[in-house]
Structure 1
Amino acid sequence: MHMDILHYRFMQNAILAALLGGVACSTIGVFVVTMGISFIGTCISHAAFAGALLGILLGFNPLVGAFVFSLLAAAVIGPLADRGEFNPDTAIGIIFSLMLGLAFLFMGLMVGPKTQALG
């Protein structure tokens, strides 16, 4: 079997990117699991979805809305999780439910087809 494909520059870049991504994700993953916040990625992504929908609904850049809502979710999760009254994943679950509910609300308020929000 020949390894001719490894002589292409794009394959070398792809392998390098996979190696660097694997090292970065595994390093961060250890801290995420150790801190008990394994649900954080889902929560922040749904916050971004709600922010993007608000941006579409109000007519401004959805990327700005996604960024602001992601930061807002992180800013609320931090103090909630630090209070120590419950598990950090519980605080994340509360914000996740709120953001998902807002996303459905914003999508329901949109007039016409929803393909712009989903595409």
Structure 2
Amino acid sequence: MGTIIDLFSYDFFANAFWASLFAAITCGIVGTYIVSRRIVFISGGITHASFGGIGIGYFLGLNPLLGAAVFAVFSGLGIQFFTQKGKLREDSSIAIWWSLGMAIGIIFIYLSPGYAPNLMSYLFGSILTVSTTEIWLMAALSALLIGFFALMYRVILYVAFDEEFAKTTGLPVNLINYLLISLIAITIVLNIRVVGIILIMSLLTLPQATANLFTNDFKRMMPLSVAFAFIGSLTGLLVSFFADIPSGASIIFTLVVLFGLMKWFVFLRKKWLKNGR
């Protein structure tokens, strides 16, 4: 136990801890909305499309996360616009932006002079390399999401579960959808360094699947998802550090194991209650 406490004397590990906490908050909140709205594959499309912004960032000599954020937001809005205004099937719209982003990213990284450093950390995550600036950005996003979902909770529920009714009440449904898709995009980008582009979808769905074992209530699922995401992220971080394995994969593997354990616990609990009657 003393060894674990001693780790916090290192700045990189303290940053990783805060990244785990803020990743849990942001992905727990946004992931609950994504899963409840059944738009998991939209988040997957935005995630992979953001690679285009990373490539452009490398090419222009800018922070790759800045490029990813801009490209991810435009991709999310593009998917929404193509589906609603362009009358394109949602899966087709996702596929277009997904493949466009990946293609642009590969092209610009290839055109960039020299070697692209830390590229693997964007693809597979490297929580131990998260900077202090990124921590502050994740903290700001956490506060923004908590405030937004607290103030707009009922409106979000209407839009998520009965969009037609929301329109009849005069709510600006399109504006709310565009705001939410932008927040999803920013959440994805700021958490890329935690688990990477390849695995970020798991961080947005596994904690929610675990929370769903205990409740179907949207309001209760959010804090439960945050809790499970934090437990999985912190445990995965410690496992990756001591076992010297990639942090992103370790976090996702831990979340899968946590889901399995909770599923087993719920099964045994139901069996025990049934036999106790």
Do the structures match in fold with TM over 0.5? Answer: yes
Unaligned runs of 5+ in 2: 1-16, 122-277
Q: How many angstroms apart in 1 are the aligned matches of 2:72 and 2:31?
A: 20
On the 8 A contact 1:53/1:117 being kept in 2, the answer is: no
Q: How many angstroms apart in 1 are the aligned matches of 2:54 and 2:44?
A: 15
Instruction: Return closer, same or farther for 1:24/1:97 CA change in 2, 3 Å cut-off.
Output: closer
Superposed, 1:51-90 pairs within 5 Å as 51-83=53-85, 85-90=87-92
- TM-score normalised to the size of structure 1? 0.67
State percent identity of aligned pairs. Answer: 32
- Equivalent residue number for residue 108 of structure 1: 110
- Equivalent residue number for residue 97 of structure 1: 99
On the 8 A contact 2:55/2:106 being kept in 1, the answer is: no
Unaligned runs of 5+ in 1: 1-9
Instruction: Return closer, same or farther for 1:98/1:27 CA change in 2, 3 Å cut-off.
Output: closer
| 3-state SS of paired residue (2:55) | helix
- Equivalent residue number for residue 29 of structure 1: 35
- Equivalent residue number for residue 256 of structure 2: none
Instruction: Return closer, same or farther for 1:82/1:96 CA change in 2, 3 Å cut-off.
Output: same
Instruction: Return closer, same or farther for 1:28/1:87 CA change in 2, 3 Å cut-off.
Output: same
Q: Tell me which amino acid in the other structure corresponds to 1:87.
A: R
Q: Tell me which amino acid in the other structure corresponds to 1:107.
A: I
Q: How many angstroms apart in 1 are the aligned matches of 2:76 and 2:31?
A: 19
Q: How many angstroms apart in 2 are the aligned matches of 1:93 and 1:77?
A: 9
Q: How many angstroms apart in 2 are the aligned matches of 1:115 and 1:59?
A: 12
Shift, 1:54, TM fit: 1.0
| 3-state SS of paired residue (2:62) | coil
- Equivalent residue number for residue 271 of structure 2: none
- TM-score normalised to the size of structure 2? 0.32
- Equivalent residue number for residue 50 of structure 2: 48
Instruction: Return closer, same or farther for 1:27/1:66 CA change in 2, 3 Å cut-off.
Output: closer
Q: Tell me which amino acid in the other structure corresponds to 1:30.
A: S
Instruction: Return closer, same or farther for 1:29/1:55 CA change in 2, 3 Å cut-off.
Output: same
Shift, 1:94, TM fit: 0.8
Instruction: Return closer, same or farther for 1:67/1:27 CA change in 2, 3 Å cut-off.
Output: closer
- Residue deviations 1:46-100, cap 9 Å, x none? 2222212211211122221111101111121111011364421111111111111
Q: CA RMSD in A?
A: 2.7
Q: How many angstroms apart in 2 are the aligned matches of 1:79 and 1:28?
A: 18
Instruction: Return closer, same or farther for 1:118/1:110 CA change in 2, 3 Å cut-off.
Output: farther
